[in-house]
Amino acid sequence: MSTASQRFDAAQTREILDELDRNGFVHIPGVLAPEEVAELREVVEPLAKEHFDPELGFTHALGAAYLHPRLTDLAVDPRLMGVLAGALTPNLHIYHSHIDVHPPEQEAPNAWRWHEDGGRQTADLDYRARLSAKLGYWLSDCDEPGMGNLEVIPGSNRWTEFLPRTPGQTPQGAIQVLAKAGDVTLFERRIWHGRSTNLSNRTRMVVFFGYAPRWIVQREFPSDEQLDAAIGDPLRRQLIGAPDWDSCHVGRAELPLTQYLAAA
Ligand SMILES: O=C(O)CCC(=O)C(=O)O
């Protein structure tokens, strides 16, 4: 499957965006072909070993988009760019990314992994705004509860209150997302989410790419070599955060992502 062949048309994009508005997340099956999953696993497995944290017992490797050229390609993959532009703005860049690889682990009775994304953003603003969204690319099956699934509270993106902290208890309305390798879960910053404990006998593997308007500073950056290598590819330059266009005063029509979506 070529990366350009599986773009979502206008009606599908609208449907995904409506669901995102309603629920704060959308699970999209079968975005990656099995051969792409296999190829990505070959890239991610050694990175997961290299970045494994023995104290935590798992890998949470930041800056995934810049850890390997194949991951940069995935972060700028055009398939879901129309959806991201609709969810955020075409004036977007990759602002944060991570590889998460969780081997089987012990029951964690007092775990509390629930959070909204963006750290201080809600507190600093005094209210909740979408501000960013992530794509989680599943590279292993996680198709039963308790396998290290992404957990979400559907609709919590529209809450005005914080989720009360109740370690050891599953918040009301929480669900575990069931995913097959090759699926993508799109979720926005405000949804309350976390991760289930991986009580299965299989390692779960996901790569998350976070996107935000270009006026929100990136949390990880490409190297100068990676920026130089993208010369001649304005869309990639925009997405990896090259300072080629003013972040606040740029006209939408000047942006490579706007131009790409108009031409596609
Ligand atoms: O690893 C997971 O499933 C949860 C990821 C997460 O919490 C995040 O990306 O903010």
For 72-102, the pLDDT digits (tens) are 999 999 999 999 999 999 999 999 999 999 9
2 falls within a domain = no
55 falls within a domain = yes
pTM (predicted TM-score): 0.96
Domain count along the chain: 1
pLDDT at residue 199 in the model = 97
5 falls within a domain = no
215 falls within a domain = yes
**CB of 150 closer than 6 angstroms to any ligand 1 atom:** yes
30 falls within a domain = yes
**CB of 102 closer than 6 angstroms to any ligand 1 atom:** no
4 falls within a domain = no
- pLDDT-derived band at 6 (thresholds 50, 70, 90) equals low
CB atoms within 10 A of CB 263: 6
1 falls within a domain = no
Ligand 1 atom closest to the Cα of residue 210 is 9
For ligand 1, atom 1, the nearest C-alpha belongs to: 195
For ligand 1, atom 10, the nearest C-alpha belongs to: 117
CATH number of the domain that residue 217 is part of: 2.60.120.620
Q: Which two tokens stand for residue 167?
A: 């370690």
Find the domain containing 96 and state its range: 10-263
3 falls within a domain = no
Q: Which residues lie closer than 8 Å to 220 by C-beta, 6 or more apart?
A: 62, 63, 65, 66, 96, 97
DSSP 8-state symbol, 21: H
Ligand 1 atom closest to the Cα of residue 136 is 9
Ligand 1 atom closest to the Cα of residue 117 is 10
